[in-house]
């Protein structure tokens, strides 16, 4: 009998499916090897223990009966179909099993046999038809589990990712439909495929990793066996364990990354394009986040701000721009607060306190938003318009000057023609009188002749001034300097002009000693005559005209003082410019071309001297000339000749 028992045990141990036998009181008295393995119990430890220890507490009783008794009572209804429940291993882990319960014998001799089948997580297995208990009570016993399995299957089948399982060989044992679609293959080809046959080193490394119990990621191209389709894929390899914690294979989760790669390539190309445009833009470009920190700036903006692009990153405008920062921050805050752009705001760096040379910048700030409308920061566009602005200003100045020149020329032409015509009428009248008298044989009045000559002289003077001015402009006014006694020269000029003084008193104050200068006497006479003529002309009420000559150090100083109309202070610096006439002299009351002082300054300065005026409107004027003295020892003072003279 003992031998028969041993033989029976050996048969049962050889069976693949786990089996547990218990007595009428549901105490285990035998379990085969497969059951030992499934439950991780040693046979001798479990023997004599209640069979309920093999199930979690929540399922070991049902409707007031033990699970085993309950299933025995439902045996006819189940017609031999297994029931799916969770069993519990000695270490507390739960495993899903299908079990059938049978019994033999009566009373104390009753023997109950539970045969089990472990449900692996192999996907295809889940596709096999499941036994569903028909009875409601049975349903409530296992419904959660069954629903869990169904859901699991649903998840796997409808996952947007391809999923496959492989064993340690490594042969694919199961896969979902999505994988079939991704790889453009068939389930028949994929299941049973040995991953080694793909001859992909990187993939094999991942498989090896997973079989060694570690997850691994693979990215590469899968060429379908038929060779028609190449799919870029990302595969996450993960190990699968059996109940004993031993790796029994792995699972691969496959993502078709062709769209992602395409999108990445498009994004990379787009980024490369933008980066090139950004970096090579001839204007400053930058992006500042909502906390007002520089995130990116191009070379041009870095240049404008005087810091390298790296020195901007993570800093706020105050840190980068120093005193100029607050004005920029104000602009950025405005954009962030209102969402409105600021366009082409002109900034003068000298006005906002930026260090370095003055620059004019045109800055625009635009809100940058995420597709969902969230504010990401501010895009900044800065253009250095200093040169453009200065050129514009220069152009405006030139234009203004040109307008001014045209006005001056027009004024000059009308004044010049008026001035030239003025002496002509009296001159021709005087000549007509003379002619008449001569015809009648009457004696000629010398006053008439003198007057005629004066008008002629006036015209000659005007024409000479015009010629001199154009010579000066062309750099062709020649000087013939020689040692000259200036005291005598002034005296001579004043004597010659005595006839013109009309109601004025002309005084001459000069040193006793000779005043020697090295000048062109003809030209110096011209200067002095001009000053004295002006003194007469612009002092219409008569009065004393005082001419003073003195020496001071190395200089001869001449002053011509009149009690006349004076010159507005703001116009005194312009007096010596060509055609300039002060605003308090109308051409009606005071004839003149505005050339005398221009010619005088040129002559004096080319003798190494200086000419200036002191005057107040209504108080009279004093014109001063300073010329280098010719001392016995010193060499001739420099006199610039026309070829050196540049206008």
How is 443-504 classified by DSSP, letter by letter? Answer: PPPHHHHHHHHHHHHHHHHHHHHHHHHHHHHHT------EEEEHHHHHHHHHHHHGGG-TTE
Q: What's the min distance (Å) between Cβ of 307 and ligand ADP?
A: 55
In the structure encoding, which two tokens stand for residue 424, read together?
């002509």
Interaction of residue 581 with ligand ADP, rule CB under 6 A: yes
Task: Give just the sign of the alpha carbon dihedral 262, 263, 268, 272.
Answer: positive
Interaction of residue 534 with ligand ADP, rule CB under 6 A: yes
Q: What's the min distance (Å) between Cβ of 557 and ligand ADP?
A: 18
Q: Which of 535, 547, 558, 625 binds ligand ADP (CB under 6 A)?
A: 535
* C-beta of residue 265 within 8 angstroms of C-beta of residue 257: no
E strand or H helix that includes residue 206: helix 201-211
Q: Which is nearer to ligand ADP, 24 or 585 (CB)?
A: 585
Interaction of residue 26 with ligand ADP, rule CB under 6 A: no
Q: Which of 250, 592, 609, 637 binds ligand ADP (CB under 6 A)?
A: 592
In the structure encoding, which two tokens stand for residue 162, read together?
């391809």
Q: Which of 172, 621, 628, 630 binds ligand ADP (CB under 6 A)?
A: 621
Interaction of residue 567 with ligand ADP, rule CB under 6 A: yes
Interaction of residue 114 with ligand ADP, rule CB under 6 A: no
| DSSP-assigned beta bridge partners for residue 562 | 621
Q: Which is nearer to ligand ADP, 74 or 537 (CB)?
A: 537
E strand or H helix that includes residue 72: helix 67-73
Q: What's the min distance (Å) between Cβ of 404 and ligand ADP?
A: 17
Q: Which is nearer to ligand ADP, 178 or 561 (CB)?
A: 561
E strand or H helix that includes residue 310: helix 309-312
Cα Rg, the chain, nearest whole Å? 59
* C-beta of residue 327 within 8 angstroms of C-beta of residue 347: yes
Interaction of residue 603 with ligand ADP, rule CB under 6 A: no
Buried b (16+ CB within 10 A) or exposed e, 178-187: bbbebbebee
Size of residue set near ligand ADP by CB under 6 A: 22
Q: Of 81-89, 168-176, 427-435, 532-540, which part binds ligand ADP (CB under 6 A)?
A: 532-540
Interaction of residue 529 with ligand ADP, rule CB under 6 A: no
Q: Provide the total of helices (H) and of strands (E) in the chain, helices listed first.
A: 22, 24
Q: Give the length of the chain.
A: 647
Interaction of residue 604 with ligand ADP, rule CB under 6 A: no
Interaction of residue 162 with ligand ADP, rule CB under 6 A: no
Q: Which is nearer to ligand ADP, 39 or 598 (CB)?
A: 598
* C-beta of residue 86 within 8 angstroms of C-beta of residue 56: yes
Q: Looking only at residues 301 through 330 of this chain, which bind ligand ADP when binding is defined by CB under 6 A?
A: none
Q: What's the min distance (Å) between Cβ of 549 and ligand ADP?
A: 18
Interaction of residue 597 with ligand ADP, rule CB under 6 A: yes
Interaction of residue 602 with ligand ADP, rule CB under 6 A: no
CA 64, CA 84: separation in Å to the nearest integer? 20
DSSP state of 65: E
Interaction of residue 596 with ligand ADP, rule CB under 6 A: yes
> How far, rounded to the nearest angstrom, does the alpha carbon of residue 85 sit from its chain's CA centroid?
67
Q: What's the min distance (Å) between Cβ of 498 and ligand ADP?
A: 18
Q: What's the min distance (Å) between Cβ of 570 and ligand ADP?
A: 13
Interaction of residue 112 with ligand ADP, rule CB under 6 A: no
Q: Which of 564, 609, 628, 637 binds ligand ADP (CB under 6 A)?
A: 564
Q: Which is nearer to ligand ADP, 309 or 566 (CB)?
A: 566
Residue closest to ligand ADP, measured at CB: 592
Q: Of 165-173, 333-341, 494-502, 533-541, which part binds ligand ADP (CB under 6 A)?
A: 533-541
Instruction: Find all residues with CB under 8 Å of 449, minimum gap 6, and list them.
Output: 430, 434
Instruction: Find all residues with CB under 8 Å of 597, minimum gap 6, and list them.
Output: 530, 534, 575, 576, 580, 611
Binding residues (CB under 6 A) for ligand ADP: these are: 530, 534-535, 538, 562, 564-567, 575, 580-582, 585, 592-598, 621
């Amino acid at each position: 009998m003992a031998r028969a028992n041993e033989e029976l045990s050996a048969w049962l141990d050889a069976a693949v499916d786990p089996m547990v036998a218990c007595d009428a009181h549901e105490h285990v008295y035998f379990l085969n090897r497969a059951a030992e393995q499934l439950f991780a119990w040693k046979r001798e430890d479990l023997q004599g223990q209640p069979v309920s220890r093999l199930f979690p507490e929540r399922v070991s009783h049902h409707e007031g009966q033990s699970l085993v008794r309950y299933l025995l009572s439902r045996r006819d209804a189940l017609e031999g179909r297994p029931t799916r429940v969770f069993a519990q291993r000695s270490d507390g882990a739960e495993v899903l099993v299908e079990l059938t319960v049978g019994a033999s014998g009566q009373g104390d001799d009753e023997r109950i046999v539970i045969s089990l089948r472990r449900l692996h997580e192999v996907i295809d297995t889940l596709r096999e038809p499941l036994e569903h208990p028909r009875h409601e009570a049975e349903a409530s016993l296992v419904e959660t589990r069954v629903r869990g399995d169904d859901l699991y299957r649903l998840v796997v089948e409808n996952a947007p990712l391809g999923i496959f399982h492989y064993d340690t060989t490594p042969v694919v044992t199961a896969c979902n439909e999505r994988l079939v679609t991704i790889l453009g293959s068939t389930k028949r080809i994929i299941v049973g495929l040995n991953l080694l046959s793909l001859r992909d080193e990187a993939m094999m490394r991942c498989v090896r990793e997973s079989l060694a119990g570690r997850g691994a990621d693979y990215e590469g191209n899968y060429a379908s066996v038929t060779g028609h389709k190449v799919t870029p894929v990302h595969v996450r390899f993960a190990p699968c364990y059996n109940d004993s914690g031993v790796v029994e294979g792995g699972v691969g989760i496959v993502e078709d990354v062709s769209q992602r790669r395409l999108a990445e390539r498009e994004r990379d190309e787009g980024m490369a394009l933008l980066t090139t445009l950004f970096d090579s833009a001839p204007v400053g470009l930058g992006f500042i986040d909502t906390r007002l920190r520089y995130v990116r700036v191009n070379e041009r903006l870095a240049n404008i701000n005087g810091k390298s692009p790296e020195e901007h990153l993570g800093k706020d405008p105050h840190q980068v721009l120093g005193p100029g920062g607050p004005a920029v921050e104000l602009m950025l805050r405005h954009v962030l607060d209102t969402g409105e752009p600021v366009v082409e705001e002109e900034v003068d760096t000298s006005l906002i306190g930026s260090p370095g040379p003055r620059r004019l910048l045109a800055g625009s700030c635009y809100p940058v938003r995420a597709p969902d409308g969230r504010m990401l920061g501010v895009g900044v566009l800065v253009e250095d318009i200093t040169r453009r602005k200065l050129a514009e200003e220069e152009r405006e100045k030139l234009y203004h000057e040109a307008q001014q020149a045209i006005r001056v020329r027009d004024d000059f032409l009308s004044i010049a023609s008026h001035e030239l015509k003025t002496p002509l009428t009296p001159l021709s009248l005087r000549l007509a009188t003379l002619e008449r008298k001569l015809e009648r044989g009457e004696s000629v009045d010398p006053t008439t002749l003198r007057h005629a000559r004066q008008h002629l002289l006036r015209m000659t003077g005007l024409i000479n001034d015009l010629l001199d001015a154009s010579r000066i402009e062309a750099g062709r006014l020649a000087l013939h300097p020689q040692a000259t006694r200036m005291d005598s020269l002034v005296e001579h000029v004043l004597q010659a002009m005595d006839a013109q003084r009309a109601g004025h008193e002309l005084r001459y104050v000069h040193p006793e000693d000779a005043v020697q200068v090295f000048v062109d006497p003809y030209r110096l006479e011209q200067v002095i005559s001009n000053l004295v003529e002006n003194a007469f002309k612009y002092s219409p009420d008569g009065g004393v005209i005082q001419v003073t000559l003195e020496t001071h150090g190395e200089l001869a100083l001449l002053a011509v003082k009149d009690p006349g109309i004076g010159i507005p202070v703001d116009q005194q610096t312009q007096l010596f410019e060509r055609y300039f006439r002060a605003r308090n002299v109308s051409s009606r009351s005071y004839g003149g071309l505005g050339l005398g002082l221009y010619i005088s300054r040129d002559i004096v300065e080319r003798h190494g001297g200086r000419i200036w005026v002191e005057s107040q409107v209504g108080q009279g004027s004093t014109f001063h000339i300073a010329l280098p003295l010719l001392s016995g020892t010193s060499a001739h003072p420099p006199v610039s000749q026309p070829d050196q003279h540049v206008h």
